[in-house]
Structure 1
């Protein structure tokens, strides 16, 4: 399917699950190719923001079971871009739903590093990126930015160098002084300090301030 279509032929349909940073850029790329794009999210304020950003060039829908099924069943490509920081990604597309999808349609699971948001997802590599389940192609490459290593490395450095320098200069005191760094702490002295990680793994949560002060 040519995503942009041709005169007299409808464009391909792309459904993006999640309207965060990844979902926004996936929708922007698909819309730029001329596809018929729908973004599904459960945040009404975010859906309003996305409507403003795209100016009507993409559709937005509130996330319900009915909406997920309708959009996935009619899509040529479904991009899973749902992320819960520190926790496993929710399984939004079940194995049973694959039977209602188009044969040859594609699932792209950007959340695979967090366990994936499709029930049939398992991590693949750039060397062997796809596999098929019930006629639906799965692309579940872990570390997708690795396909463009120079750009992704520079972008990561730009985003993290400031924090790395703080840690190098102050050590653990940097976490006490900077709540952004402290919010990124997952484990310290054998204690789980991130709520989402604790809930996902079934461990007791210890507040970061408490364990850092011990």
Structure 2
């Protein structure tokens, strides 16, 4: 039974990561289709998904050997976390494109990174017709700048969804050093859902396959590179 539990957790994580990756993949397919060169392109080209979850992330739970006698305590969280609906964790290398004249990351760089990367945490909650427009559009992003972020370093962006409804969602984000010892900035990100234009949904990604199987339909895989 413990082994089945371990497999179920691994399967759930993989499904959540596919959902988060789908936001990057569909965005890039759409951008390629129209030769889009906007300033957020660099984030979406170079960002990498390293973890995701539907519900609280594994980091808030005790590390358990699911084949041991402790398996019964596997669901006991380290901290209360029932409000966390979904999460994503992404990495990004901070190169000179994000710099200011002081040789650290520009404040606007934090903004575009938080805008794009915290949005991906909505991926595990998305369904066709529900938050499938690349995570909707931003209503407000409130950023607290805590420490200057150096150039030529990798940052980790953690995002937790605390509310999602039919039209509104709220996400909290943290930008940290790769070792997690330094928090460069935090944010509260409020989103508004939008209907997805049909021509953008025509760009199929791996995430779409689960819904096609449920519907019993085989949809075109136009422009899919996955």
TM class by shorter chain equals: under 0.3
Structure 1 or 2: more strand by fraction: 2
Higher helix share: 1
Larger Rg: 1
Q: TM-score, normalised by structure 2?
A: 0.25
TM-score by structure 1 length? Answer: 0.26
